[in-house]
Amino acid sequence: MPRHPSLCAQRYFEDFALGEVFALPSRTMTDALFAAFQLASGDNHPVHYDVEYCRAHGMPHMLAHGFQVLIQTAAGAGLFPHMVEESLKGFIEQSSRFLAPVYPGDTLCSTSTVIGLKENSNGKTGVVYVRSTGRNQAGDVVLDYVRWVMVRKRNEASPAPEPIVPTLASNVEADGLGQACPAILAAGWNYDLSGSPHRFSDYEPGERIDHVDGMTVEEAEHMIATRLYQNTAKVHFNQFTEGQGRFGRRLIYGGHVISLARALSFNGLSNAFHLLAINGGRHVAPLFAGGTVFAWSKIAETAEIPGRDDIGALRIVTYATIDQPCAEFPGPAEKGFEDGVILELDYWAAIPR
Amino acid sequence: MPRHPSLCAQRYFEDFALGEVFALPSRTMTDALFAAFQLASGDNHPVHYDVEYCRAHGMPHMLAHGFQVLIQTAAGAGLFPHMVEESLKGFIEQSSRFLAPVYPGDTLCSTSTVIGLKENSNGKTGVVYVRSTGRNQAGDVVLDYVRWVMVRKRNEASPAPEPIVPTLASNVEADGLGQACPAILAAGWNYDLSGSPHRFSDYEPGERIDHVDGMTVEEAEHMIATRLYQNTAKVHFNQFTEGQGRFGRRLIYGGHVISLARALSFNGLSNAFHLLAINGGRHVAPLFAGGTVFAWSKIAETAEIPGRDDIGALRIVTYATIDQPCAEFPGPAEKGFEDGVILELDYWAAIPR
Amino acid sequence: MPRHPSLCAQRYFEDFALGEVFALPSRTMTDALFAAFQLASGDNHPVHYDVEYCRAHGMPHMLAHGFQVLIQTAAGAGLFPHMVEESLKGFIEQSSRFLAPVYPGDTLCSTSTVIGLKENSNGKTGVVYVRSTGRNQAGDVVLDYVRWVMVRKRNEASPAPEPIVPTLASNVEADGLGQACPAILAAGWNYDLSGSPHRFSDYEPGERIDHVDGMTVEEAEHMIATRLYQNTAKVHFNQFTEGQGRFGRRLIYGGHVISLARALSFNGLSNAFHLLAINGGRHVAPLFAGGTVFAWSKIAETAEIPGRDDIGALRIVTYATIDQPCAEFPGPAEKGFEDGVILELDYWAAIPR
């Protein structure tokens, strides 16, 4: 036995091979985890917390939150963050389609395939493109996604692989949406109870919505939120080490930032009740405890979903910031992003018609 | 779409009309929420956490904690705090009757009616009296309560409405108690296991009990505890804004203060096992993280419950303080309350006979 | 009613009698508590969180974590910490055998017998030896353990009892192991998914494993973790009092320290999937919030379990430290322990063969 084993062999850029397949461990999504997600993020979308609301719309049970499903399968019960714990430079959710609803008691696992590799020009890092499929215990595919992960090279001198960059659609098309969203009784949607009268037809491409609310994050909260995915990577948990590192602070897990942004978007988009797909996302800057997260959204597109007359789809781009209220809609700048922006997330959500 | 939508239209004093009825969203009370309440408050009453204990007394399952039921229906899955987020000055629980037990898996919703309005003499604020009914998914009424809510006027110049102040009983009468408390096998009550030998006949009106224990509250804890009710009002969560505000701190939600007080009362009243009704309550002063909550109680009254020989009722007035142990029973003073008092809560609880 | 009742009568050394039997309250282990344990500790052993993983190995459901079962029964829904709240000086888990699996929905209670008493030579404190039996709702014994508890004397002048020190085995023998561990399909164990290829035959007595990871603990986290056991002893919760006390800080509950150590040991021992028995443990030094816990383990012994060809047993001694990475394996010193060591824990765990 090696004297200093990592949880598993650490992977650097050279350790990924095109076409390689690897499986990640599973986790059972008990209703306790639905509650834990809500207690950590402040999310208020009733389809995740109110069984009667769901049954009134013909759903068999509460639906798991799309981001909880995505992050859980991406983290693979903590194994993936450990595989790249020493090498990870960053990641982007490139494209995700939610393909079947997930209910309390379902167990999710994922299988990943390396579909691309490209060394960066600096010769020190490279990008690994991974397609992952999330399945439930019956083998149904619930989620399909692509992400790119930037990792360090083990040895700068090692030769660069032939660059393969997969051709990815810039976004998920509307006709691919809706499979994870059970039919609802749109005529029965209670706009008084959601707190907002706005439905599909009330949103116009181009309009911008300041979500107003801010959520200050504490150390204990983000660590509890991150353990929800069984992610124990030191960058989030080990102040002894991180205190001597680049930031001097524990970095808040990107999965938690995404969850906070979606929770904050409820104010102004409360009828955009369920996630359908993710087109892309970028963790622009780090978030640390003590910071207050704000958010605003742009409606990039509205689309009917072929075969669905109960729901339409809003293509939403949400920006989250740290300590920066969003009345002026801080977003992309000439180079990069304006100060304070920590997240850009482009996704489709279902809204009653 | 307005550029800065709130979760829902903000309501000021002028926006409430006598006789108006509004519904608040529901939430399913999974056993995970029972556990979350206990983890946030430190409550130890076994009827909420021990299925076998409940079954030994003939109950079908664990009982939901009365304060969790009350706060959940009052907050209405977060919608009510948002309706008055900009206008709220304060509130008092005037009178609540718990009318049926709530079990894991029950979904609670509430309907509210405005039963009174009275502008304050300063012309800037007014009091709205609201009667609310909490129901489960079968339509059974589980809770009936009245609260008054003090909110700002939108416009000081707007005319004062005809004052209507409902006639409210000063307290719930003993013969109205007990409907939310299933029959217990009083002869089988295990006083060794509860840690206290004291039963109904051991308490005398007028006696005072120092609960001794103190509970220090952290920022993360109160925020998690508040999300339990889906309340995301900024005053509890947004340090960026609150740091520039009146207190410079995030205010701890009154619902959490009430829950802590009840949890602390276990020491000295551990056989007062279930809440029956609330006669009134006053949030005397704010609580902030870093503060340590202490509590003491006065037995205001003891009453037999007509038709019940298993339980009696204790009318308890509990005072909670911040950073003030209660050996000297700090409470009402000539004007207002003594230093350190943050809560006065007057309620009935069931205790074995 | 006394003016200052404790939760229950406080017990000092003189209050324990040889042969005395006392029962402690029960608690239902819902799957929400399994999740809460994981969210507090960072534990990642899949048998506690993944129903399909368990069923693939023929288990009926997820297994409760051994330390959660032990600490829950030891704390007795909070009653035992309260009994000795004023008198407790320290305790050691002497010997525990896990005798039956515990599943979600099981209710655990415990009965304790005083099997030994010995006053210390200083005449101010004494040791109480207690054997406890944990049972589920069917009356099956799930846990059997002995602990010694050091408590103050009420009155230094009171006569010392005849010292009775029970003869305890220095450790649990291998042939007594495995009853709490359902059979697994060892040939079907997925070493890729566990992240580690190491099985029973890969570990050698004497080898040492640095678990590498560190976990910084926050005040809110340890308080939430401690309430999981319904332990509300002030030393963990009351900064107002503790701020004026010996440490100036809230002391982190030993049960939480043990849980963190086991969680950290996953890195390097991830296939040691379930606890079988505890041979002994010592809380060497206190842990406070803000500290970062590290851990390393020594394999003290490996043993086949008579009648079992699916699992073997590793006897593991894990050391946890505060703010002290474990590359140099800090442990026992000439007198006591090296700086930074907070816990020594000697236990058996199951690992596939």
Residue entry with tokens 């709530």: B102
Euclidean distance between CA atoms C49 and A107, whole angstroms: 10
Band of pLDDT at residue B276, cut at 50, 70 and 90: very high
pLDDT at A167: 86
Eight-state DSSP code of residue A207 = -
CA atoms within a 13 Å half-sphere pointing along the CA-CB vector of C222: 30
pLDDT at C7: 52
Beta bridge pairs of residue B215: B293
pLDDT at B250: 97
| Chain A neighbors of B238, CB-CB under 8 A | 213-216, 292
B220 to A219: CB separation less than 8 angstroms, yes or no: yes
pLDDT at A5: 46
Q: Is the pLDDT of residue B6 over 80?
A: no
Q: Percentage of chain B surpassing pLDDT 90?
A: 76
Euclidean distance between CA atoms C158 and C150, whole angstroms: 17
Q: Are B256 and B67 in contact (CB under 8 A)?
A: no
Q: Is the pLDDT of residue C167 over 90?
A: no
B198 to C1: CB separation less than 8 angstroms, yes or no: yes
Q: Are C63 and C47 in contact (CB under 8 A)?
A: yes
Beta bridge pairs of residue B112: B22, B132
* pLDDT tens-digit map of B125-176: 999 999 999 999 999 999 999 988 999 999 999 999 999 999 877 788 888 8
Q: Are C110 and C136 in contact (CB under 8 A)?
A: no
Euclidean distance between CA atoms C93 and B163, whole angstroms: 67
Nearest one of B65, B70, B29 to B48, comparing CA atoms: B65
pLDDT at B174: 84
Are β-strands C88-98 and C274-283 bridged in parallel, bridged antiparallel, or unpaired?
A: antiparallel
* Mean pLDDT of the residues in chain B: 92
Band of pLDDT at residue B8, cut at 50, 70 and 90: low
pLDDT at A7: 52
A195 to B82: CB separation less than 8 angstroms, yes or no: yes
B4 to A210: CB separation less than 8 angstroms, yes or no: yes
Q: Report, as an integer, the average pLDDT of A241-267.
A: 96
pLDDT at C189: 86
Q: Are B62 and B34 in contact (CB under 8 A)?
A: yes
Euclidean distance between CA atoms A168 and A278, whole angstroms: 13
Euclidean distance between CA atoms C42 and A229, whole angstroms: 10
Q: Is the pLDDT of residue B223 over 50?
A: yes
Q: Is the pLDDT of residue A215 over 70?
A: yes
Euclidean distance between CA atoms C153 and A238, whole angstroms: 41
* pLDDT tens-digit map of B18-29: 999 988 889 999
Q: Is the pLDDT of residue B206 over 70?
A: yes
Euclidean distance between CA atoms A116 and A130, whole angstroms: 7
* Mean pLDDT of the residues in chain C: 92
Nearest one of A214, A217, A216 to A236, comparing CA atoms: A217
Please report, for residues C299, C307, C350, the alpha-carbon distance to residue C353 in angstroms, rounded to integers and kept in the order given: 16, 13, 9
- Tell me the shortest Cα–Cα distance from B106 to chain C, in angstroms: 16
| Chain C neighbors of A230, CB-CB under 8 A | 38, 44, 49
* pLDDT tens-digit map of C46-81: 999 999 999 998 888 999 999 999 999 888 878 888
Q: Is the pLDDT of residue A80 over 90?
A: no
Q: What is the pTM of this model?
A: 0.95
Higher pLDDT residue, B59 or C216?
C216
Q: Are B42 and C238 in contact (CB under 8 A)?
A: no
Band of pLDDT at residue A203, cut at 50, 70 and 90: very high
| Chain A neighbors of B1, CB-CB under 8 A | 198, 202-204, 207, 209, 268
pLDDT at C247: 95
pLDDT at A3: 44
Q: Is A18 exposed, middle or buried (0-12, 13-18, 19+ CB in 10 A)?
A: middle
Q: How many CB atoms lie within 10 A of CB A156?
A: 10
Mutate to test the interface with C, among A237, A244, A250, A256 (most CBs of C within 10 A): A237
| Chain A neighbors of C222, CB-CB under 8 A | none
| Chain C neighbors of A228, CB-CB under 8 A | 39
pLDDT at C4: 46
Please report, for residues A84, A325, C71, C162, C295, the alpha-carbon distance to residue C255 in angstroms, rounded to integers and kept in the order given: 31, 42, 6, 31, 16
Q: How does DSSP assign C186-209, residue by residue?
A: GGG--HHHHT----GGG--TT-EE
Helix or strand holding residue C29 (H, E) = strand C21-29
Q: Are C319 and C343 in contact (CB under 8 A)?
A: yes
Q: Report, as an integer, the average pLDDT of A3-8.
A: 50
* pLDDT tens-digit map of B67-125: 999 999 888 877 888 888 888 887 776 789 999 999 999 999 999 999 999 999 999 99
Nearest one of C323, C236, C332 to C284, comparing CA atoms: C332
Eight-state DSSP code of residue C154 = S
Q: How does DSSP assign C126-148, residue by residue?
A: EEEEEEEEEE-TT--EEEEEEEE
* pLDDT tens-digit map of A137-164: 999 999 999 988 999 999 999 999 999 9
A36 to C39: CB separation less than 8 angstroms, yes or no: yes
pLDDT at A92: 74
pLDDT at A8: 65
Residues in chain C: 353
* Mean pLDDT of the residues in chain A: 92
pLDDT at A232: 87
Nearest one of C284, C288, C281 to C323, comparing CA atoms: C288
Beta bridge pairs of residue A29: A106
From B203, which residue of chain C is nearest by alpha-carbon distance?
C1
Beta bridge pairs of residue A142: none
Please report, for residues A146, A278, A346, C15, the alpha-carbon distance to residue A96 in angstroms, rounded to integers and kept in the order given: 6, 5, 11, 64
Question: Could you give the angle at which helices A254-264 and A31-41 cross, rounded to 10 degrees?
Answer: 80
pLDDT at B1: 43
B193 to C79: CB separation less than 8 angstroms, yes or no: yes
Q: Is the pLDDT of residue B292 over 60?
A: yes
A214 to B237: CB separation less than 8 angstroms, yes or no: yes
Q: What are phi and psi of B105, to 5 degrees?
A: 95, -15
Q: Are A185 and A57 in contact (CB under 8 A)?
A: yes
Please report, for residues A275, A278, A340, B348, the alpha-carbon distance to residue A285 in angstroms, rounded to integers and kept in the order given: 24, 20, 8, 52
pLDDT at A311: 95
From B40, which residue of chain A is nearest by alpha-carbon distance?
A39
pLDDT at B29: 96
Out of A202, A267, A292, closest to residue B238 by CB: A292
